[in-house]
Structure 1
């Protein structure tokens, strides 16, 4: 039996979430042409693969991931929503417009809304809510 569009979309987002921190170049093929990565909490909008890859390298190069707790992930034929809580220590200045200093330990409620097109990510909107915990 062939996978449904929702199952394909879940697999694409799973690969994205697993690869963005460890090898950003490896996930660029998961994005559709004309991709937009929007992070309204930090007033950042990226519209090229190069800018998106650079953002991931800088961001993940500036934090120490302490924990990641998945809360919910579901998909339709054209959307995936992923909700999780992440705890990290700020170790550098590459997390653009992060309102906390180096050394801060942060709990981040992270909500992704992916708009999917033909099994690729056409738009990624990331909502972030931060809380210092140390």
Structure 2
């Protein structure tokens, strides 16, 4: 459903038929829709925003995938491993080819199904999470998640949060 709305935005036209401003607008909407659907109920919709080829990377955990089924299962493992308590959106901007997103996630580790996560269940952690998305024709073709994991309330769990940053608190 979200993909249909995105396709309708610019009638599914390729980047070559759009202005720079239209491409950037569409890219920002695609990434917003992707994040909106990164949850257990609608993760299939998040993955549907990938192009025919996809590279999904989490370098700090040594994860590189290019198969949609593997990526979908990795997301499901993340949902079974982390309980999100709060996110803080710091900044997001785009070009014709890339969207950069910088945020902080505050989570509790509740499982052990996330590839190479350096914390055990019961641990509260902060993650400075910086994404770089590469897009083409309104589809994500590369997603790189630079994860900086720190134990909550540790001396290194410090971030400069811009005034007015959007904070979302999750029940749980």
Give the TM-score range, shorter chain. Answer: over 0.9
Listed as ranges, the matches of 1:39-118 within 5 Å are 39-118=58-137
CA distance in 1, matches of 2:79, 2:101: 19
Structure having greater relative contact order (Cα 8 Å, sep ≥ 6): 1
CA distance in 1, matches of 2:48, 2:39: 15
1:6 matched to 2:24: yes
| Deviation (angstroms), 1:95 | 1.6
Q: CA RMSD in A?
A: 1.5
1:81-124: CA deviation from partner (whole Å, max 9, x where unpaired):
00000000000011210001100000000000001110110001
2:38 to 16, 20, 24: 20
CA distance in 2, matches of 1:120, 1:8: 9
Where has structure 1 moved over 2 Å in runs of 4 or more? Answer: none
1:35-84: CA deviation from partner (whole Å, max 9, x where unpaired):
00011111100101101110111101211101000000011111000000
Note the residue ranges of structure 2 that are not aligned, 5 or more in a row.
Answer: 1-9, 11-20, 154-172
Normalising by structure 2, report the TM-score.
0.75
Note the residue ranges of structure 1 that are not aligned, 5 or more in a row.
Answer: none
The secondary structure found in structure 1 opposite 2:121 is: coil
The secondary structure found in structure 1 opposite 2:48 is: helix
